[in-house]
Amino acid sequence: MISVQIHVADLDERIATAMRLIDATHPDLGSGVSREARGLAVLLLFASYENLLTGLTRTLLEGAVRCGVSNRRLRPGFRMFAIDSAVQSLRNVSEKKVFVSALPDLIRAAGASDRPGSINTNGFPNDGSYFRRSQIVVWCRTFGVPNPEVSLSKIWPQIDSVVNDRNGIAHGRLTPEAVGRNYTELEIRSLISDWRDAWTGFLARVEGLAATRDFFRITR
């Protein structure tokens, strides 16, 4: 039903950029900026992960659309994206319109008819953690992907620290040099390699799970 090759190619390109950055600023070359490079490499790892998860979400939602089934035949995680806009409207509606329009719209969106569903392919199951491990847990629970901590075991303990380091750099609390001090050259090279392997395996697993229409719909 879906292909993840575009996501694999993008991940490979971003990982290669991070490794080239480390190679180009190797201390033996006398550049003296290897700590900054290590910090910037962490920033690139976060960006590769954020882009992967948001892009993969869209790929799965587009796969659900291609199934062409009504909202009530979608598996619950996908049905959430079919009723998301109606839920947002319900939050903001005045009390007098709750039973006049808001709730009826929500019921229709939930699939009270056999009309094809209307999934928002731009949606994302955001948990507010800004891509810490809890975000992966919520994402996997939404789409029915079990045990992410097992699939990503090589990098699972490092994910939150990568997010924290990225936020520190992005918000000015930390410099790339300060982040880079936390990693030796061997450690950052190992993290980059493990990051690629773990997320490539994760993509392959999701592709395998989503190989049939039954991943997206409730069977009759």
Locate the domains of the chain by residue range. Answer: 5-80+122-215
Q: Tell me phi and psi for residue 70, to 5 degrees.
A: -70, 165
Taking all residues of the chain, what is their mean pLDDT, rounded to a whole number?
88
Which tokens hold the place of 123? 């949606």
Do residues 130 and 139 lie in contact, with contact meaning Cβ atoms separated by under 8 Å? no
Which pLDDT belongs to residue 107? 67
Which pLDDT belongs to residue 139? 98
Coil, strand, or helix at residue 116? strand
**What is the average pLDDT across 161-182?**
95
Choice between 100 and 182, residue whose per-residue pLDDT is larger: 182
pLDDT classification of 97: cutoffs 50, 70, 90: low
Which pLDDT belongs to residue 32? 45
Q: Tell me phi and psi for residue 116, to 5 degrees.
A: -55, 145
Q: To which residue do tokens 């292909």 refer?
A: 3
Q: Taking 60 as the threshold, does the pLDDT of residue 100 lie above it?
A: no
Do residues 42 and 15 lie in contact, with contact meaning Cβ atoms separated by under 8 Å? no
How far is residue 94's CA from residue 90's CA, in Å, rounded to a whole number? 9
Q: Output the pTM of the full model.
A: 0.88
pLDDT classification of 129: cutoffs 50, 70, 90: very high
**What is the average pLDDT across 36-52?**
96
**What is the average pLDDT across 68-93?**
79
Q: Is 74 left (phi over 0), alpha (psi -120 to 50) or beta?
A: beta
Which pLDDT belongs to residue 24? 84
**What is the average pLDDT across 71-98?**
76
Do residues 81 and 124 lie in contact, with contact meaning Cβ atoms separated by under 8 Å? no
Per residue in 157-166, is it b (16+ CB within 10 Å) or e — as a string?
Answer: ebbeebbbbb
Quickly list DSSP for 10-76: HHHHHHHHHHHHHHHT-GGGT---HHHHHHHHHHHHHHHHHHHHHHHHHHHHHHHHHH--BGGGB-H
Do residues 110 and 94 lie in contact, with contact meaning Cβ atoms separated by under 8 Å? no
Do residues 199 and 48 lie in contact, with contact meaning Cβ atoms separated by under 8 Å? yes
Q: Taking 90 as the threshold, does the pLDDT of residue 116 lie above it?
A: no
pLDDT digits (tens, 9 = 90+) for 141-155: 999 999 999 999 999
Do residues 7 and 56 lie in contact, with contact meaning Cβ atoms separated by under 8 Å? yes
- CB-based burial label for 89 (10 Å; 0-12, 13-18, 19+): middle
Choice between 189 and 110, residue whose per-residue pLDDT is larger: 189
Coil, strand, or helix at residue 74? strand
pLDDT classification of 95: cutoffs 50, 70, 90: low
